[in-house]
Structure formats: C-alpha cells, structure tokens
Structure 1
Amino acid sequence: MNDITTREDVEYLVKEFYGQVIKDDLIGFFFTDIAKIDLIKHLPKMYNFWESILLGNPVYEGNPMRVHFPLNEVTALEEKHFNRWLQVWEKTVHDNFEGDIAETAITRALNIGRIMNHKMANARIR
C-alpha cells in the first residue's frame, strides 16, 4: 500500500469513507436523514478540505464547524457519534493507505472530532 500523496488519493479515501459512513447503523442517518447531503455537491468540498489538511494545498474554503451547529440542534451530535466517525475514518485509511500522511489523516481526524464534540456539547448546554 502507498501513502496519501495526491489529490486522487484524497478523493479515493473520501469516497471510500462516505461509502461506508452513510450506511453505518449509528451515524449514517446524520448524513442521509438529518443533513440530507447530496454527495455530488458534498464530496468535492470534502476533497478540498482533506487536500488542504493532508497535502497543504489551500483549496478549501468554508467553516466546517458552522455547518454542524444546525444539525446538532435537530439531533445531538454526541461523543459516541464522533467516536464512530473516527472508527470508520481510521479503518478506511488503514484499509487503503499506509505511511506518514495516512497516519496524519487519522491524527487530524481525531483532533477534529475532539474539537467538534466539545463545541457541539457546549452548544447544547446553552
């Protein structure tokens, strides 16, 4: 297996991840029923997001945190949901890639999940 080194690698990883996560018993409904994401529109944003993070190409524009607050108001995004998101991400990375950038993808996802979990929990308190 190779490391994540190109935009094509990022696209492959993200497609594989979404193919799994939208079918997940615990969190799939967030994507299909709550956010009702249109993968044709959503995936290019996620390609840009992860390309920016993993390859250092500043192609992502947006605020991923802001998008999740309205979803959290409909159905609470809880720690168990972020943990499952990370489990699926980590498995997808390990099933398809190995190397420093692949490990960075997991570390970055862990950090993103922790921050989002904290912010979503605080938003529910208010």
Structure 2
Amino acid sequence: MTMPPRIAVTEAQIDRVVARFYSAVRQNPNLAPIFAAHVTDWPAHEEKIGRFWRNALLLQRSYDGNPMHVHQAAGNVHPEHFPIWLELFDRVLAEELPADLAQSWSALAHRVGRGLSYGLTPKNAGGAIPRLSLH
C-alpha cells in the first residue's frame, strides 16, 4: 500500500526549491564558505538533498544518509547558522510554492533545523560541549 505524501508537493517542486536554495546559499556571505569547504560537486549534493526531501515530504525511501552525523562531522557548522539557513529556505519556499504548501514545508524544515542545531556545538563554545546545570 502506498502512503499519501506528508505534504502534497511534486518532485519537480522539490527539485526547484533545492536548486534555488543552493543557488542562494552559494551567494550568502555566511553560508557560502561553510558549504564551499565541503561541497565540490553541487549537482550530486542537490540530488542527495532532493532525495532527503522526497523522503521527508513524499515518504519515498530514496535517502539513506545521516544528516546529524554529517553536520557534526563537518566541524564548521554551528547552531548559529540555522536561522540564516531557514530564512533563505523560507524565502525560496514562498517564491516557489503556493502559500499553504510553503507554510507546511517550512514548518517541517524548522523542525529539522531545530533538531540538527541541538546536536551541534555553538561557535563560541571553543569546541567544548555545553553542560546543563541542575542547580
């Protein structure tokens, strides 16, 4: 039995959003250097992220990566980058999709961003993992 999509976007819409988003990333002074340090093949990266979103939105089983591990291993990705990422992503969604689809996808992207940022060390922490105090 085929599951209905989580959000009724098309594969073509996913591809357009991903391509436009990464075009904006490459021009962003805060995010471009981070991605440039890790991405050498943009078409392959965009195809992989397209599979991530197809999995998340259309419930396809075409993505098998571990985003948390990748972002942690990068070493130069910090929680402070996610508001910038999300602002760019929201802008692209609003330009590419009807408002209801853009809002639904944005809500999911914000949950993903929050989850990823929780697993990363803040830039100003000097590599130390912050500890919670129970006092």
CA RMSD for the aligned pairs? 2.1
CA drift at 1:41: 1.4
Point out the more displaced range, 23-32 or 83-92: 23-32
Question: Which residue is 1:83 aligned to?
Answer: 83
Structure with the higher helix share, 1 or 2: 1
Would the aligned equivalents of 1:54 and 1:104 in 2 still touch at CA under 8 Å?
Answer: no
Q: Percent identity?
A: 24
Would the aligned equivalents of 1:4 and 1:97 in 2 still touch at CA under 8 Å?
Answer: no
Residues 85 and 37 (structure 1), Cα distance of their counterparts in 2 relative to 1, 3 Å cut:
farther
Partner residue of 1:51 out of 45, 48, 54 = 54
- Unpaired segments ≥5 residues, structure 2: 1-6, 130-135
Q: Secondary structure at the match of 2:121?
A: helix
Question: Which residue is 2:120 aligned to?
Answer: 120
Question: Which residue is 1:93 aligned to?
Answer: 93
2: CA distance between counterparts of 1:14 and 1:49?
10
Structure 1 outlier segments of 4+, above 4 Å = none
Within the alignment, does 1:25 sit opposite 2:29 as a pair? yes
Would the aligned equivalents of 1:54 and 1:101 in 2 still touch at CA under 8 Å?
Answer: no
1: CA distance between counterparts of 2:87 and 2:21?
10
Question: Which residue is 1:41 aligned to?
Answer: 44
TM superposition score normalised by structure 1 = 0.84
Identify which of structures 1 and 2 has the higher relative contact order when contacts are C-alpha pairs closer than 8 Å and 6+ apart.
1
Q: Secondary structure at the match of 2:39?
A: coil
1: CA distance between counterparts of 2:72 and 2:78?
12
